[in-house]
Structure formats: structure tokens, C-alpha cells
Structure 1
Amino acid sequence: MTTASIRRDRQVSPVFLGLVAIMAVTGWAVWAQYSASTGFAIFLFVVSGWIVSLCLHEYAHARTALHGGDITVGAKGYLTLNPLKYTHAALSILLPVIFVILGGIGLPGGAVFIERGRIQGRLKHSLISAAGPLVNLVFALALMLPFTFGLLDGAPLAFHAALAFLALLQVTAAILNLVPVPGLDGYGVIEPWLSYGIRRQLEPFAPFGLIAVFGLLWVPSVNVQFFDAIHAIMRAFHVDDYYSSLGYSWFRFWDGSPFGS
């Protein structure tokens, strides 16, 4: 592969840059209360920010795989941050956005295909799986630390709400992805350390793990306990439940909530 080809394989996609631009412009609109509909501006800000985080999540998997020995990830376009290059664009982008709309839950879908046979060593395999949730964790910290250090004092309420809701999505994504269920990254972390027989028995369940976890969160008692834990984590960073709940209400501007305009 030529140097020029390598550069193209790793050049940041205009699609990703466009998403970042949308996030920046709508974030400014929320801050300046420029939009006639605050809810719609928050919706665009959160969705674009969520997709940006999905791209970074999958990039982390691919980049770690590259350093682990899978040199094919570049040719597949995984290092360009272009969501349209993912193996299942609908599963990777559309489904997670639907999860957010339906339940305010951040749960990335499966995306990049790593040629695991090129990677030697169980630790490398575990690190590749862990890389994605770690990005969500860093993203969450970046969104919550302004609350922690009082950097948002004087900021509009709508901006507090939008930032808090996007932070909640990142926290839920990091935690849920680390659940050791086949199909999720948490299982990918421990899978290399399991016996061959156990891996063979669990392999058929991988396509259903994501849906099973989302379905379980619809059980009222599980949902309450889960979000209690999420809010407890966020409160430790001085992100009040009120802000994230308000952000979700504004996000669902089509519900006719008084906060939707």
C-alpha cells in the first residue's frame, strides 16, 4: 500500500466534520437561544453529538485493532470516522438513535468488523473491545466536568439541560457496553479468557444481546434501579437529575411538552 493510500485511509471524512459542525452550530443556538424552538435545537445538538460519539467509539475499536495487528481496518474506511463506512450503518447509527428517542438510553450498536485472526494475544483482543466504552467514558467526563468545576455558572438553563442529557447518554453507553452479554463490548473483553467450549455455546446469542439488554431496561423495576445508579454517578460530578430530565423533555419536542418550545 502506498503512502498516499494510507493517508486517504486515515483522512477524516467530510461526513464526520459535517456532524461536528452541526453539533457546534446547534450548541451555539441553544446557548444563545437563537432558535425559535429550543426543543428542536436541543434535539439536533444531542443527536449530532451522540452520532459523533458513536463514530469515536468505533474509531477507537478500529485504531486499537490496527495497533494490535489488523491492518485491514484502514482499507475498510474505519479510520476516517465516516459512519457510512461501518459494516451495518443502520445498526450502528439508526438503531442507537431510536434507543435514545424511545427511552433516553445511550446504547451503541455493532459496527466495525475486526479480523480477529490477525491479532495475537488475549490481552490485545480485550483492549480492542474495551476501547469503545472508554471513549464514551472520556466523552462523559468532558461533558460533566464543566458542572463539577462550576464552569457553566450563568449559562442558559437550556444549555445546562442539553449538556446534561448528552452526558447521561454517554454514561449509560459506557456502563451498558461493559455488561458481559454476548454482542456487547463487555463480553468482548472477557471472551478471550473463556474456554473454547463456553465461547461456542454463547456465540449464537451474540446477535440478540443488544436487543435483550434494551428490552430488559423496559422492565419498570430494572429501569428505575438502572437510572437511579446512573443519576448517582452523575450527581457525584454535580450534574443534577433535574437538568438531564429537563434535557430529555426538551429533546422530545414533538410531545407537546411546555419545555419543547
Structure 2
Amino acid sequence: MENLLAFSFEQLPFVLLVLIIAFTVHEFAHAYSAYKFGDPTAKLLGRVTLNPARHIDVLGMLLILLAGFGWARPVPVTRENFSRPRLMGIIVSAVGPLSNLLIAFIGAMIYYVCLRNGVFIEANYSRGVEALDIFLSTLVQLNVLLFLFNLIPLPPLDGYRILEDLAPLPLRRKMQAIEPYSIFIFLIIVFIPPLRQNTIGRIYDWIGDITNAFLRIAQMIFG
């Protein structure tokens, strides 16, 4: 699979399609799990749906095309409605990134089956096969990217919410006090090359590792 983090014009339709799928499933997973745990907030706002129009943030989608990271519209969650707020809060935060990991895993399984059955060999490489190759590669790698990116412990990302629910109350209060400045911290990390290389840059390194691990699992399953 090629590195799909530098998007060519040819890849853009596939990238947009994958982002619509990935963002929609991610936010639906948050909304559905919160609703099942007793919080109707997302349900009342029409977010317990697989309709992309309810979840896509245009700016967030454009930014991932330009800078390699982005977001969808966050699902509002009222943790006080949960019977066990911290535990259920962790689960609700975690299911979003895990849904992207699951999509990537399924995509890798399909890719491997196609590869094993000679779908991508040169003799069969029609425009339709090429489109399938690009789509599956993009599906796997972008969903792995979103899985890893959302685990960064900075607000409003899921990794921060998980850390917040795990932290003892005194530490949570300190974390909440710096939340208003989180966007500046994030921008500093993103746009100062040494910091970016040692944080977000690491994510790009891990994408290939996870993708290859999925393909090895597929090899063990399908032979």
C-alpha cells in the first residue's frame, strides 16, 4: 500500500468518501453508546444516525486534506446521565477511535483477500480494479490515522476525555483549568516542526506498522 497521507488529485475522491464513512461511523459510535448508557443528549439532537450530514464538519474535513489531521462535529455527551459516569464516559470516548480501528481491520481483510486471489495483479489491473485498490488502501490507512490521532490526550480529542475520566478529582480540576488554552497548545505542537515530528509525526510512522500487522493477521486467517 502506498503512503496516502500526501493526497494526489487522483486520490481525492477516495479520500473524501473514506472520510465521510470514517467520521460518520466514529460519531455514530459515540452517540449510540451514550444513548444506550442512558444519556439522551445526542439522541435529542439527531446524532444517533448514520446520516453523514449530521456528523460532518466541513472545516475539519478540509483540514485533514491540507494538514493531515481534522475532525467531525463532536457528539455532546452529558456524563451526569450515566449510572456510572466515569466508567461509561471512558467507554463512550473509546468506542469512536475503536470504530475506526475496526473499519481499518475489515478493510485490510478485504484487501488481503483481493491480493491473495490475484485481483490486483497487472493482468487484471483495469480502472475498476485500480479504483478498488486505492479505495481499500485509503480506507485502511486513514482509519488507522484517525484511530491514533483521536487518542492524543489533548482536548477535545477522545484521548483527553479518557484521561480525564481516569484521573483523580484534583488532577481533573487542573486539567479542566487549562482546557481553554488547549487549542494554542495543539497549534504549537502541529506547526513547530521538532514538536510535530516527535508527536503527530510518530503517528504517521505507526500507520504502516498497524497496517502490516492487520495484513499478517489476514494471512494467518486466510492462509
2:101 maps to which of 137, 147, 164: 137
In the TM superposition, 1:132-171 aligns within 5 A as 132-149=96-113, 150=115, 153-155=118-120, 156-171=129-144
User: Separation in 2 of the partners of 1:128 and 1:70?
Assistant: 11
Which of the residues 16, 28, 34 maps onto 1:59? 28
CA contact (8 A) 1:110 1:183 kept: no
Range 199-208 or range 68-77, more displaced: 199-208
Q: State the AA in 1 paired with 2:82.
A: I
Report if aligned partners of 1:182, 1:205 keep a CA contact under 8 Å in 2. no
Distance 1:208-1:169 versus aligned 2 partners, 3 A rule? farther
* Identical residues among aligned pairs (%): 28
Counterparts in 2 of 1:5-24, with a 5 A limit?
none
- Contact 1:184-1:209 within 8 A present in 2 as well: no
What residue number does 1:78 align with? 47
2:20 partner amino acid: I
Instruction: Indicate the residue corresponding to 2:208 in structure 1.
Output: 231
On the 8 A contact 2:14/2:138 being kept in 1, the answer is no
Contact 1:73 1:79 in 2 (8 A): yes
TM-score (norm 1): 0.64
Counterparts of 2:117 and 2:9, CA distance in 1: 20
What's the secondary structure of 1:237's corresponding residue? Answer: helix
* Per-residue Cα deviation, 1:30-79 (whole angstroms, up to 9, x for no partner): xxxxxxxx945x42232122112211111111111111111233221011
The two structures, once aligned, show a CA RMSD in angstroms of 2.8
Please report the TM-score for the alignment, with normalisation by the length of structure 2.
0.73
Q: Are the counterparts in 1 of residues 164 and 175 from structure 2 also a CA contact under 8 Å?
A: no
> Are residue 115 (structure 1) and residue 88 (structure 2) matched?
no
Question: Which segments of 5 or more consecutive residues in structure 1 lack a partner in the other structure?
Answer: 1-37, 87-91, 240-261
| Conserved? CA contact 1:61–1:132, under 8 Å | yes
Closer, same or farther in 2 for the Cα pair 1:71/1:194, shift >3 Å? same
1: CA distance between counterparts of 2:80 and 2:39? 8
Change (3 A) 1:217 1:160: farther
Counterpart residue number, 2:67: 103
The answer (yes or no) to whether the contact 1:183–1:205 under 8 Å persists in 2 is: no
User: Residues 115, 152 of structure 1: CA spacing in aligned structure 2 closer, same or farther, 3 A cutoff?
Assistant: farther
2:145 matched to 1:176?
Answer: no
Q: Say if 1:143 and 1:181 are closer, same or farther in 2 by CA, change over 3 A.
A: same
Change (3 A) 1:185 1:208: farther
- Cα distance between partner residues in 2 of 1:51 and 1:205: 31
Which letter maps to 1:143? G
CA contact (8 A) 2:14 2:134 kept: no
Separation in 2 of the partners of 1:75 and 1:224?
Answer: 38
Counterpart of 1:193?
166
Higher mean C-alpha deviation, range 167-176 or range 206-215: 206-215
Aligned to 1:44: 13
Question: Mind listing any 5+ residue stretches in structure 2 that lack a counterpart?
Answer: 1-7, 121-128, 217-223
